[in-house]
Amino acid sequence: MDYLEQLPQIPTLVVEDVNVVRVQIRELLRSVGFRNIYEAKTGAEAAQLINENDIQVILCDCHLDGLDGLSLLQYMKEQQRLSGAVFIMVSADNTKKTILLSIQAGVDDYIVKPLKADQIRSKVLGHMRKKGVFSK
């Protein structure tokens, strides 16, 4: 099966506190072929969705109230069953400090907003192939 044919079934989570941005990211994912998309506006909501679902791809804002993006990344890493999941930080914060902290924490990638469909295609799909998210 071609990997693009698998996109509709892959559980994907968008974590973004700003509704209009969350919708924009969801629609960009849909334009590439993702269909099984969960959404959370807080880190706590995201953690609950991670507990309840076999999430394979996470696009997460860095700055969230309460459980922020870096804390959510750490939480995800503690879940053994999610060891192969892709975690991409998506933020308007383009400061070297924040990007470095995210990379040191182990994000698969860091994308500065606004997102574009070609970034979803190249970065997200690339990390999915690299981590073996697609079945053979």
Query: Which sequence spans correspond to the domains of the chain?
Result: 3-130
Q: What is the pTM of this model?
A: 0.94
Q: pLDDT value at position 8? A: 92
Phi, psi of 116 (to 5 degrees): -130, 155
Higher model confidence: residue 87 or residue 77?
87
pLDDT digits (tens, 9 = 90+) for 109-131: 999 998 998 988 899 999 999 99
Q: Can you give the pLDDT at residue 136?
A: 52
Q: Does domain 3-130 have CATH number 3.40.50.620?
A: no
Q: Which pLDDT belongs to residue 32?
A: 92
- Computed over its alpha carbons, how large is the radius of gyration of the chain? 14
Kindly state the percentage of the chain with pLDDT values over 70.
Answer: 99
